[in-house]
């Protein structure tokens, strides 16, 4: 299994605070069947400024330690990038970086609103052959009020990553219900842990996949697992067509569910 969003790099953000925290998180990830994680420390969220070279250095350091401790976890570089005005320049300069060598960029939105410039940003990224992956849209209250706004962004080419603990109910009933609705409408392309520690915000990816398998069927589970593999390999994501509420019926046709 591949986890495309976690905060395992030590001392860079609100995730692992020490090297010991990071190795404990790595051990937990392995125990939960994860073979590869993308380390996505916050960038430009107003508090954390982990530019590309810092991330690459930290990934190298952690990989050396995991190798020395014989923890079989592959760690790839990435960032969780807060949407901001000069992102294209920051990308050009290598301060903002995509997930590993792929054309996919993990973007974080403010929790209360959808930035006006997001549509333009998605388009500008596309002109450069890149794709925006919106991190945990289920936690954004503006999407909760207007889910069709997320549909528009997906139709414009954005992809979406849902967080495991959201669908498991740990972020509240409202977010849990919304998470399922987004999955059922094919507005989610990836599931990730967004792990910050080994406790409350640990790796719960396997648990989330089990819940998805039970409720939506194995096809959805395989879809998310395959998409994560394709993402880190820089391949095209073969996404399911988003479903508008009135056309929900087609969901069952698509996967033959009742």
> Do residues 242 and 250 make contact, with C-beta atoms less than 8 angstroms apart?
no
Taking residue 54's Cβ as centre, other Cβ atoms within 10 Å add up to 16
Interface pick for Fe ion out of 194, 201, 202, 203 (rule CB under 5 A): 194
Q: Taking CB under 5 A as the criterion, which residues in 71-90 touch Fe ion?
A: 80
Taking residue 7's Cβ as centre, other Cβ atoms within 10 Å add up to 26
Which of 207, 228, 201 has its CA nearest to residue 16? 201
Q: Looking at beta carbons only, is 41 or 242 nearer to Fe ion?
A: 41
The minimum distance between CB 5 and Fe ion, in angstroms, equals 6
Which of 62, 59, 21, 25 has its CA nearest to residue 40? 59
138 lies in the site for Fe ion, by CB under 5 A:
no
- Nearest residue to Fe ion, by Cβ distance, number only: 194
Q: Taking CB under 5 A as the criterion, which residues in 94-113 touch Fe ion?
A: none
The minimum distance between CB 199 and Fe ion, in angstroms, equals 16
Query: Looking at 47-55, 145-153, 191-199, 240-248, which segment touches Fe ion (CB under 5 A)?
Result: 191-199
Query: Looking at 48-56, 126-134, 169-177, 194-202, which segment touches Fe ion (CB under 5 A)?
Result: 194-202
Q: Where are the alpha helices (DSSP H) in the chain?
A: 19-31, 52-68, 87-92, 118-127, 141-145, 147-155, 164-167, 173-184, 205-216, 218-232, 249-255
Rounded CA-CA distance 166/180 in Å is 9
Query: Looking at 66-74, 176-184, 192-200, 220-228, which segment touches Fe ion (CB under 5 A)?
Result: 192-200
Q: Looking at beta carbons only, is 55 or 151 nearer to Fe ion?
A: 55
The minimum distance between CB 77 and Fe ion, in angstroms, equals 15
Q: Looking at beta carbons only, is 80 or 90 nearer to Fe ion?
A: 80
Binding mask 226-245 for Fe ion (x = CB under 5 A): --------------------
Q: Looking at beta carbons only, is 14 or 229 nearer to Fe ion?
A: 14
Q: Looking at beta carbons only, is 21 or 80 nearer to Fe ion?
A: 80
Question: What is the dihedral angle through the alpha carbons of 58, 62, 64, 66, rounded to the nearest 10 degrees?
Answer: -170
The minimum distance between CB 81 and Fe ion, in angstroms, equals 10
The alpha carbon of residue 54 and the mean position of all alpha carbons in its chain are separated, in whole angstroms, by 20
The alpha carbon of residue 56 and the mean position of all alpha carbons in its chain are separated, in whole angstroms, by 19
Residue ranges in contact with Fe ion by CB under 5 A: 80, 194
């Amino acid at each position: 299994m591949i986890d495309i969003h976690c905060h395992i790099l030590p001392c860079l953000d609100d995730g692992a605070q020490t090297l010991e925290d990071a190795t404990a998180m790595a051990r937990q990830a392995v125990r939960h069947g994860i073979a590869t994680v993308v380390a996505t420390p916050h960038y430009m969220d107003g508090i954390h400024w982990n530019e590309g070279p810092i991330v690459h250095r930290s990934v190298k350091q952690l990989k050396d330690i995991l190798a020395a401790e014989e923890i079989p976890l592959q760690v790839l570089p990435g960032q969780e990038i807060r949407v901001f005005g000069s992102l294209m320049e920051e990308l050009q300069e290598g301060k903002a970086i995509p997930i590993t060598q792929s054309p996919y960029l993990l973007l974080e939105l403010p929790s209360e609103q959808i930035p006006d410039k997001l549509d333009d940003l998605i388009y500008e990224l596309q002109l450069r052959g890149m794709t925006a992956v919106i991190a945990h849209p289920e936690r954004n209250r503006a999407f909760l009020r207007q889910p069709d706004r997320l549909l528009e962004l997906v139709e414009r080419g954005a992809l979406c990553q849902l967080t495991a603990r959201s669908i498991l109910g740990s972020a509240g009933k409202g977010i849990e219900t919304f998470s399922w609705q987004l999955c059922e409408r094919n507005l989610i392309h990836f599931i990730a842990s967004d792990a910050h520690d080994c406790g409350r915000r640990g790796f719960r990816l396997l648990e989330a996949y089990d819940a998805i398998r039970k409720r939506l069927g194995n096809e959805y589970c395989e879809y998310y697992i395959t998409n994560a593999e394709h993402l880190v390999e820089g391949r095209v994501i073969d996404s399911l067509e988003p479903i508008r509420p009135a056309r929900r019926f087609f969901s069952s046709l698509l996967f033959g569910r009742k």
